[in-house]
């Protein structure tokens, strides 16, 4: 390839890189999922992450050499996206890897060859860096490659030394930078100058092992891990000013710009930032959903939700009012499908998730804007009718059950200076209502207000500390003590699948998290035995109950937890003194175990029925298996119909009646999946897994306890089906012996209602319907009477109308009139006086003031707007409000100030109109 290469597309760059190393005996491997196997990270954040177990010596590699194009997600510096040339949340890392094969000399030579001979970079445009103590790499670059000494920079550990953690494999790095301005010379080269340099290739030489003392010893097998940023290479080769204007991202930006009706190149800086954020984030969310990540309020689901919301918010900032994410996603899918076919295969799921999240967040934005406007009105008069509140409440999509809007906590005003929205208010909007801080700042600025960002950050830090404190409390009370004991006691042997009781030795006793040698009767304890039949809480199933007994000793076991490899028995010593080393008998409560087994197997049958009747793509999103009920959460974009719920219940009961026998096996994970066993997405499994198979009905990977035959469940009953979060539904049900408890409770309720209404149980629905109709009729009649009363009271005010210049004004107080009726009265009076202004006030209940202003068009032409006018007047009563220029409503708290407020209103009207 010549030194002036022709234009290369992103796809061509990717293929050239992979083929270059394939020709050098590297196995081309597909990109790993964005959901990593490594449980310590939420998302795949680097090209080497899928190979980390190999680098750490935990897994033997299938190939000595490999090359990949790995999709990655990082959000640690999300605020820089769109503002710098090269920050992204989604990016592709091209890499070549050696597992104990070639090392520095060959990696450097190939890095230089592909950069200069394949991609055609002139050596004059390249600068390299090495770790400050890595004389070997320095010598290779200088003597074998021929890079001038002035263009080899030694950097410190922060820049050029890779570590996997405080201990373990590590090694120096060497990076290749592209120099956009070699004419500036080789003196005083500063690689931090991103206007001149861009790092595009990083070579990691994994050659040491670091121990706990920080000592480095050479590894027996040395490894190579390299990374070349695809987006950065595209920027250089396509000769564009930033990564966003490459063919990998810019078509998405253009789609968003077309929807907004704007031209990217003619837009201001702020608009370009929003377009770049949309371009970057849409790539992220498309690939995340394609890898079966669903939006939620926790973990990687929260990362996805946050990214989607940022796309929607930046869409609004550039003037897009309606839904648009599926349109830009289509462009992203088209750009990616050749390299990642799964995005096209999952197109329907991607668009459905985006549409659902976008619609929900748009409602959140509307709701947050209304709450923010209330805060602004309390600080200063309304500046614009754009944020006028609606009478219709908006739904809560926080992931919690739908609340009553009237019961939502009102954002508190903290008494900060007039031109400042408090950090507490901003945090309440963010934390409780999901309203972004950036949007609070933007709307505040439009109203000539500031936001106390330091106060917001302080509130955020308090929340972090509360969460951290809660976590540390749990960690220190049990796990911390067990960690200290781990060197002296053995892991617990679990016998509970086959044995309901066993003899065991007391290995450890904890009292309030502190290790003790003995504990007396009456003490709450945590006990570790060398072996146990007690199932510890896991996989949604709660822990067993039962007893630990010995010579004069009885401990009631109330809960079971598993901490690392130890089963911890939580309970209370009923009699005797328990000592470390005692030999005891551990016995589960068989009745509780039977109930848990029935409910757990019922969840498996329930999932199978959902897949059969509703959608085969349904997957588990969580579960709870207790002694009295079961709860099953599943991913589904819609609610189930009553008919579907009935069919599911009937199907589960049919399988129960057919008496299917369980087949339990421990299999290699790959074999279990090949047989069709259902795994919970995102769950981490070992090399061998336990498979619970009810042939022709259900096969799942599960470590819980189950019935040996479905007939043991007896009967299954669905109690409820409802949504618990965006795209997540929940079914609650009972089965087995718990059915009797459920029926007893329902029977008592029905008998009580029958006695109260004095009707037979079968007549209850008709009686309740009749009462509801009567109540609705009475409420309508009451509302009508209130309006009629307000009109009657207001008609008498026509005689009090005052003439001011060419206009008539009415300013008066009506007693005991609710806000809606007050508004109706004001509108009616304005119609009758035609050209003028009406301001009415009332005290509908203790501690509440209502004020309405209705202005004619002629009044508006005089420069008076009802929204601004009534908002200012209401401040006298300790409140605020606003609305349209012709009709607005406000509220207050101090009823004693209403006469003063109305007097002020009359005075201002006379002054303005006279």
**Which are the contacts of 480, defined by CB distance < 8 A and separation ≥ 6?**
513
Model confidence at 354, in pLDDT bands (50, 70, 90)?
very high
Give the residue carrying structure tokens 């009709």: 887
- Per-residue pLDDT at 6: 58
Total-model pTM: 0.54
* Least-confidence region, from 61-65, 269-273, 684-688, 731-735: 684-688
Q: For 762-796, what is each residue's pLDDT tens digit?
A: 888 888 888 888 888 888 887 777 777 767 777 77
Mean pLDDT for all residues in the chain:
86
- Parallel, antiparallel, or unpaired: how do β-strands 161-163 and 126-131 relate? unpaired
- Per-residue pLDDT at 680: 72
Q: For 420-450, what is each residue's pLDDT tens digit?
A: 788 888 888 877 666 778 778 867 876 778 8
Distances (CA, A) of 535 to 474, 481, 493, 568, 909: 20, 21, 11, 10, 77
Q: For 106-165, what is each residue's pLDDT tens digit?
A: 999 999 999 999 999 999 999 999 999 999 999 999 999 999 999 999 999 988 998 866
Angle at Cα 83 formed by Cα 154 and Cα 239, nearest 5°? 70
CB 891 within 8 A of CB 850: yes
Q: For 287-333, what is each residue's pLDDT tens digit?
A: 999 998 888 767 888 889 889 988 998 998 898 988 999 999 999 99
> Cα separation of 629 and 163, whole Å?
48
**To 10 degrees, what angle do helices 325-336 and 347-379 make?**
140
Does residue 414 have a pLDDT over 80? no
Q: What percent of the chain has pLDDT over 70?
A: 90
Mean pLDDT highest for which of 485-499, 792-806, 857-871? 857-871
CB 697 within 8 A of CB 605: yes
Based on the number of CB atoms within 10 Å of its own CB, is 289 exposed (0-12), middle (13-18) or buried (19 or more)? buried
Does residue 462 have a pLDDT over 70? yes
Give the residue-averaged pLDDT of 808-827. Answer: 88
Tokens of 137: 């790499």
Based on the number of CB atoms within 10 Å of its own CB, is 187 exposed (0-12), middle (13-18) or buried (19 or more)? exposed
Q: For 8-62, what is each residue's pLDDT tens digit?
A: 999 999 999 999 999 999 999 999 999 887 766 789 988 888 888 888 777 788 8
Give the residue-averaged pLDDT of 464-469. Answer: 52
Does residue 411 have a pLDDT over 50? no
Tokens of 575: 């009699």
Residue 311: which of 277, 336, 286, 284 has the closest Cα? 277
Q: Which stretch of DSSP H or E encloses residue 420?
A: strand 420-421
Core vs surface per residue 37-52: b (16+ CB within 10 A) or e: eeeeebbbbbbbbbbb
* Least-confidence region, from 695-704, 721-730, 904-913: 721-730
Angle at Cα 200 formed by Cα 199 and Cα 206, nearest 5°? 90
Give the residue carrying structure tokens 């837009």: 267
SS (H, E, C) 812-869: EECCCCCHHHHHHHHHHHHHHHCCEEEEEEEEEECCEEEEEEEECHHHHHCCCCHHHH
Model confidence at 726, in pLDDT bands (50, 70, 90)?
low
Secondary structure class of 291 (helix, strand, coil): coil
> Cα separation of 247 and 7, whole Å?
11
Give the residue carrying structure tokens 């008076």: 864
Model confidence at 481, in pLDDT bands (50, 70, 90)?
low
Per the model's pLDDT, the better-predicted residue between 410 and 909 turns out to be: 909
Model confidence at 396, in pLDDT bands (50, 70, 90)?
very low
- Parallel, antiparallel, or unpaired: how do β-strands 531-532 and 493-494 relate? parallel
* Least-confidence region, from 304-318, 504-518, 632-646, 678-692: 678-692
**Which are the contacts of 205, defined by CB distance < 8 A and separation ≥ 6?**
103, 104, 107, 134, 137, 171, 172, 173, 174, 222, 224
Per the model's pLDDT, the better-predicted residue between 694 and 723 turns out to be: 694
Q: For 171-196, what is each residue's pLDDT tens digit?
A: 999 999 999 999 999 888 999 898 89
Does residue 490 have a pLDDT over 90? no
Give the residue-averaged pLDDT of 348-356. Answer: 91
Give the residue-averaged pLDDT of 744-758. Answer: 87
Q: For 830-844, what is each residue's pLDDT tens digit?
A: 988 888 999 999 998
- Per-residue pLDDT at 194: 85
Per the model's pLDDT, the better-predicted residue between 733 and 412 turns out to be: 733
- Parallel, antiparallel, or unpaired: how do β-strands 518-519 and 578-579 relate? antiparallel
Please name every residue paired with 579 in a beta bridge, in sequence order, or none if there are none.
518
Count the Cβ atoms, other than its own, within 10 Å of residue 665: 14
Model confidence at 485, in pLDDT bands (50, 70, 90)?
low
Handedness of CA 142, 148, 150, 155 (dihedral sign): negative
- Per-residue pLDDT at 446: 66
Model confidence at 2, in pLDDT bands (50, 70, 90)?
very low
């Amino acid at each position: 390839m010549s030194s002036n290469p022709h234009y290369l597309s992103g796809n061509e760059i990717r293929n050239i890189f992979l083929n270059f190393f394939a020709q050098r005996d590297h196995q081309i491997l597909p990109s790993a999922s964005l959901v990593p196997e490594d449980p310590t990270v939420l998302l795949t954040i680097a090209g080497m992450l899928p190979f980390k177990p190999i680098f750490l010596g935990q897994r033997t590699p299938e190939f000595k050499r490999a090359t990949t194009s790995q999709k990655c997600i990082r959000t640690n510096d999300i605020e820089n996206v769109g503002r710098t040339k090269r920050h992204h949340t989604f990016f592709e890392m091209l890499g070549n890897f050696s597992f104990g094969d070639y090392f520095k000399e060959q990696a450097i030579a190939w890095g230089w060859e592909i950069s200069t001979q394949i991609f055609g970079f002139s050596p004059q445009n390249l600068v390299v860096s090495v770790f400050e103590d890595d004389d070997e790499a320095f010598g290779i670059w200088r003597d074998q490659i021929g890079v001038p000494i002035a263009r080899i920079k030694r950097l410190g550990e922060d820049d050029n030394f890779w570590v996997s953690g405080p201990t373990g494999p590590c090694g120096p790095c060497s990076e290749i930078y592209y120099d956009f301005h070699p004419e500036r010379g080789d003196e005083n080269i500063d690689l931090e100058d991103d206007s001149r340099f861009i790092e595009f290739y990083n070579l990691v030489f994994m050659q040491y092992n670091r121990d706990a003392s920080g000592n480095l010893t050479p590894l027996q097998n040395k490894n190579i891990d390299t990374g070349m940023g695809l987006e950065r290479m595209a920027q250089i080769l396509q000769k564009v000013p930033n990564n966003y204007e490459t063919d990998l991202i810019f078509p998405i930006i253009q789609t968003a710009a077309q929807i907004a009706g704007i031209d990217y190149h003619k837009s201001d800086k702020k608009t370009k930032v929003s377009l770049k954020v949309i371009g970057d984030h849409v790539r992220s969310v498309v690939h995340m959903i394609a890898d079966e990540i669903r939006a939620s309020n926790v973990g990687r689901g929260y990362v996805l939700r946050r990214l989607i919301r940022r796309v929607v918010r930046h869409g609004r900032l550039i003037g897009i009012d309606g839904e648009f994410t599926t349109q830009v996603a289509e462009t992203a899918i088209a750009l990616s499908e050749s390299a990642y076919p799964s995005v096209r295969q999952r197109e329907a799921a991607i668009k459905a998730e985006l549409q659902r999240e976008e619609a929900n967040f748009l409602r959140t934005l509307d709701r947050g804007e209304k709450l923010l406007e209330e805060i602004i009105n309390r600080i200063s008069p309304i500046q614009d009718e754009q944020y006028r509140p609606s009478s219709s409440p908006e739904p809560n999509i926080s992931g919690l059950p739908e609340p009553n809007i009237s019961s939502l906590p009102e954002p508190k005003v903290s008494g900060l200076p007039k031109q400042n929205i408090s950090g507490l208010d901003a945090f309440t909007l963010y934390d409780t209502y999901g309203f972004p801080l950036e949007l609070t700042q933007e709307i505040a600025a439009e109203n000539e207000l500031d936001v106390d960002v330091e106060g917001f950050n302080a509130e955020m830090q308090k929340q972090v500390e509360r969460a951290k404190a809660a976590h540390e409390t749990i960690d220190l009370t049990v796990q911390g003590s067990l960690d200290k004991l781990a060197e002296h006691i053995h892991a617990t042997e679990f016998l509970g699948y086959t044995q309901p009781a066993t003899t065991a030795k007391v290995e450890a006793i904890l009292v309030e998290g502190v290790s003790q040698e003995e504990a007396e009767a009456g003490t709450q304890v945590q006990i570790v035995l060398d072996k146990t039949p007690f199932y510890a809480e896991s996989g949604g199933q709660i822990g067993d109950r039962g007893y630990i007994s010995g010579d004069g000793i009885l401990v009631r076991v109330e809960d079971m937890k598993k901490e690392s490899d130890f089963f911890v028995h939580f309970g209370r010593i009923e009699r005797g003194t328990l000592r470390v080393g005692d030999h005891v008998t551990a016995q589960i409560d068989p009745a509780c175990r039977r109930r848990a087994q029935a409910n757990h197997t019922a969840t498996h049958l329930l999932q199978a029925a959902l897949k059969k009747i509703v959608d085969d793509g349904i997957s588990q999103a969580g579960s709870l298996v207790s002694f009295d009920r079961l709860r099953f959460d599943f991913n589904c974009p819609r609610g189930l119909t009553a008919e579907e719920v009935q069919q599911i219940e009937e199907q589960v009961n049919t399988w129960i009646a057919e008496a299917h026998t369980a087949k339990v096996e421990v299999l290699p994970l790959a074999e279990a999946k090949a047989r069709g066993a259902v795994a919970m997405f995102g769950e981490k499994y070992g090399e061998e897994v336990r498979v619970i198979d009810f042939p022709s009905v259900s096969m799942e990977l599960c470590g819980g306890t189950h019935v040996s035959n479905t007939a043991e469940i007896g009967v299954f009953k669905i109690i409820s089906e409802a949504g618990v979060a965006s795209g997540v539904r929940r079914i609650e049900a009972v089965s087995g012996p718990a059915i009797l408890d459920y029926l007893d409770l329902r029977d008592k309720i029905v008998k009580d209602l029958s006695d109260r209404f004095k009707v037979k149980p079968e007549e209850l629905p008709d009686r309740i319907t009749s009462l509801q109709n009567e109540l609705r009729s009475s409420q309508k009649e009451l509302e009508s009477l209130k309006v009629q009363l307000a009109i009657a009271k207001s008609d008498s005010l026509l005689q009090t109308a005052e003439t001011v210049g060419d206009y008539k004004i009415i300013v008066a107080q009506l007693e005991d009139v609710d806000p809606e009726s007050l508004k109706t009265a004001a509108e009616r009076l304005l119609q009758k006086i035609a050209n003028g202004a009406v301001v009415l006030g009332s005290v509908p209940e203790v501690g509440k003031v209502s004020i309405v202003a209705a202005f004619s068009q002629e009044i508006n032409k005089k420069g008076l707007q009802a929204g601004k006018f009534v908002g200012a007047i209401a401040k006298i009563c300790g409140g605020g409000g606003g609305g349209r220029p012709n009709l607005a409503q406000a509220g207050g708290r101090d009823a004693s100030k209403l006469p003063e407020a109305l007097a002020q209103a009359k005075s201002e009207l006379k002054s303005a109109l006279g």
